[in-house]
Structure 1
Amino acid sequence: SRSEGNTRVYETLHYGSFIGELGGLCQEKNTATILTAIDELRKAGYTIAQEHIRIGFGQVCKLTGLRGRWQQVGMSPTIICDTGHNTGGISYIADQLRGIQADKLHIVIGMVNDKDIHSVLRQLPQCATYYFTKANVKRALDEHTLQTLAKEAGLRGTSWPDVRSAFQAARQSSTKKDLIFVGGSTFIVADFLAFYHPEQA
């Protein structure tokens, strides 16, 4: 597959070319799994037409209500959120962030306290400015604790008591050519999308 804007274009042997609405790097493996499952379902007698595949991949967010998977919600600056929260998910996110052209990278991040926090933090880009925060859930890791752990991993930034204030600080520090990423936890993205409404592209 290849990235095309905020989507992925898949060139497949058995299913032709189609566009996947989800643009995250992790979708390459997810798509391979789904196509394998489709093969098995077809063998079991289910009718799944090429058009079903094209529509399913191309409109997955609209059809399912899925939000927060490498979702671009703003431009000038570019604003992206992703719910990836473990070492596997963060490795894809970190690689994708490193590949985006932006003057500066701002990362609004919070985590829950039952994840492998040290491994996640070690994967994140050191060149970014961080806005450490916490989601409005009991399992949320305190933003000051997260900031201390991040500092040990070479990450620098400030701490904020909630996602809204952290995002507002990132927005105020950004120029039109910057990138703001919001993530680290599904709960962080949920809090963010509760108050931030995607801009029309």
Structure 2
Amino acid sequence: MSNNTSTEDQNKPSLSWSLSTWLDYLQAIHSKSIDMGLARTQQVYERLNLDFSNSSVVTVAGTNGKGTTCRMIEMGLRMQQQTVAVYSSPHIIDYTERVRINGLMLSEQEHVNAFMQVEHARGAISLTYFEFATLAALVLIANQQPDFVVLEVGLGGRLDAVNIVDPNLAVITSIALDHQDWLGDTRELIATEKAGIMRPKVPVVVGEPVPPETLLIAVDKMQAQPSWQGKEFGFEDCDTSWCWYNQSVQFSDLSIPLIPMQNASTALQVLSLLGHLPRNQDEVNELIEKSSLPGRFEEISQQPKIIVDVAHNPQATELLAARIGRMKYTQLHLVVAMLEDKDIAGSFLPLESLKANWYVASLNVPRGAKSKQLKTVLTESQKVVEFEHVSDALLAATKNAGNDDLIIVFGSFFTVSEVLQAS
């Protein structure tokens, strides 16, 4: 009897479990990786009795640009001595990347402690990995009582676990086709899902320059207080510099940002509404210099220059192609691995007009596409070589590249993670 009890105890979640053991547990306790709906998460959240009344909450949704927009908001607030907590996903290398407190990650044990708190609160309620992780992140953030909380939506908006927290300001960075099985197969349907993070009478900053009609209708119906890109605020690309404006200020001759201009513009309007806009051009340029994120057009090597980017849908690769177009190089090498449920053909299209050598690799994760699937999408005029692993594809590209060549690795968070862990 005692031996059986001991075995059972060993299988029960414990503060002595490692973070990796907990993450395996989170993967196993729910039958689906995605299970849309807030009822279960809301119930556990209420049991946790977390208090965010002393913090201003900013919730950020969008097809692309969420992470970089969150980063620039975070850095802008920190530059003005505000305390800031950020929850974002997915992580690239280390799970603890998902929660930042004043720019720093917390210890694995702090995450374990938060997992245990959620485990006790949930009882018999089943949670997905993301729902459990989100609740644990909220526990960690509530413990810190920061001035500002920045929450990145994982999928959609209306039914995402992050949406259990009422924001003081909502942000929609962009609207494009992605996660169509869950969100709908048109921009109009996807916009409606993103709009679900809005609240009545609460400001919403819309970074999408061409919003679908359904978003305008949703804003009006919700009686939200909108700031539209191109109307209440906006930017102009001047090739070697850019300018930004809103209804009360304009900054000219700014440094080209490390993140997409559309997202930088959106973040500046958020900071303006929060009362923490940089005061002058020098401060904006300092903010631009500090606003970068791993895996987002990140340079990891020179001679040849190697850049990794998590771009994994047509809107993101269109931006990637535009950024490549600004660069000087002798020969372009594109290393790519993607998930099979992404729009592979649409994602490749913006890059196909670039004269490049393609290195397509299998992505060895669940839902990962095989190299053959990627190769069949490319036209016969493209120079394409297949590889079983991303690391092998990058090694081949590096061997073939001259010092003045450019290597771009893209296609998925998993793709970039594999490269960064190997470097």
Q: Give the unaligned 5+ runs of structure 1.
A: 197-201
Q: Quick one: which of 251, 267, 270 aligns to 1:34?
A: 267
Using the alignment, how far apart are the partners of 2:279 and 2:390 within structure 1?
A: 41
Instruction: Report the counterpart of residue 60 of structure 1 in structure 2.
Output: 291
SS in 2 for 1:84: coil
CA-atom RMSD in angstroms: 2.4
**1:17-166 residue pairs with structure 2 within 5 A?**
19=255, 22-23=258-259, 27-42=260-275, 47-50=276-279, 55-61=286-292, 66-126=293-353, 127-151=355-379, 154-166=381-393
Using the alignment, how far apart are the partners of 1:60 and 1:134 within structure 2?
A: 32
Using the alignment, how far apart are the partners of 1:21 and 1:97 within structure 2?
A: 14
Which one-letter code corresponds to 1:138 in the other structure? P
How far 1:146 sits from its partner (Å)?
Answer: 0.9
Instruction: Report the counterpart of residue 131 of structure 2 in structure 1.
Output: none
How far 1:95 sits from its partner (Å)?
Answer: 2.1
Shift in alpha-carbon separation, 1:3–1:189, aligned structure 2, 3 A: farther
Instruction: Say which is worse superposed, 14-23 or 178-187, in terms of deviation.
Output: 14-23
Shift in alpha-carbon separation, 1:20–1:123, aligned structure 2, 3 A: closer
Using the alignment, how far apart are the partners of 1:120 and 1:82 within structure 2?
A: 13
**Length-normalised TM-score, structure 2:** 0.39
Shift in alpha-carbon separation, 1:97–1:21, aligned structure 2, 3 A: closer
Which one-letter code corresponds to 1:137 in the other structure? V
How far 1:91 sits from its partner (Å)?
Answer: 0.5
Instruction: Report the counterpart of residue 12 of structure 1 in structure 2.
Output: 244
Q: Is the 8 A contact 1:98 1:125 kept in 2?
A: no
SS in 2 for 1:83: coil
Which one-letter code corresponds to 2:378 in the other structure? A
Instruction: Report the counterpart of residue 167 of structure 1 in structure 2.
Output: 394
After TM superposition, what 4+ stretches of structure 1 lie above 3 angstroms from structure 2? 1-4, 9-13, 15-21, 47-57
Shift in alpha-carbon separation, 1:125–1:98, aligned structure 2, 3 A: farther
Between the aligned residues of both structures, percent identity stands at 25
Using the alignment, how far apart are the partners of 2:269 and 2:277 within structure 1?
A: 13
Q: Is the 8 A contact 1:94 1:125 kept in 2?
A: no
Using the alignment, how far apart are the partners of 2:421 and 2:406 within structure 1?
A: 20
Q: Is the 8 A contact 2:336 2:360 kept in 1?
A: yes
SS in 2 for 1:106: strand
Using the alignment, how far apart are the partners of 2:344 and 2:278 within structure 1?
A: 43
**Length-normalised TM-score, structure 1:** 0.78
How far 1:112 sits from its partner (Å)?
Answer: 0.7
Using the alignment, how far apart are the partners of 1:77 and 1:3 within structure 2?
A: 24
Which one-letter code corresponds to 2:377 in the other structure? L
Using the alignment, how far apart are the partners of 1:32 and 1:119 within structure 2?
A: 26
Q: Is the 8 A contact 1:109 1:184 kept in 2?
A: yes
Residues 5-62 of structure 1, C-alpha deviations (whole Å, 9 max, x = no match) = xxxx554352646546525xxx1111121122122222xxxx555387555432234x
Using the alignment, how far apart are the partners of 2:335 and 2:285 within structure 1?
A: 34
1:195 paired to 2:422: yes
Using the alignment, how far apart are the partners of 1:130 and 1:119 within structure 2?
A: 16
Using the alignment, how far apart are the partners of 1:31 and 1:194 within structure 2?
A: 28
Which one-letter code corresponds to 2:288 in the other structure? F
Which one-letter code corresponds to 1:133 in the other structure? A
Q: Is the 8 A contact 1:134 1:188 kept in 2?
A: no
Shift in alpha-carbon separation, 1:33–1:48, aligned structure 2, 3 A: closer
Which one-letter code corresponds to 1:107 in the other structure? L
SS in 2 for 1:159: strand
Shift in alpha-carbon separation, 1:54–1:124, aligned structure 2, 3 A: closer
How far 1:84 sits from its partner (Å)?
Answer: 1.2
Using the alignment, how far apart are the partners of 1:120 and 1:175 within structure 2?
A: 27
Q: Is the 8 A contact 2:257 2:264 kept in 1?
A: no
Using the alignment, how far apart are the partners of 1:181 and 1:91 within structure 2?
A: 14
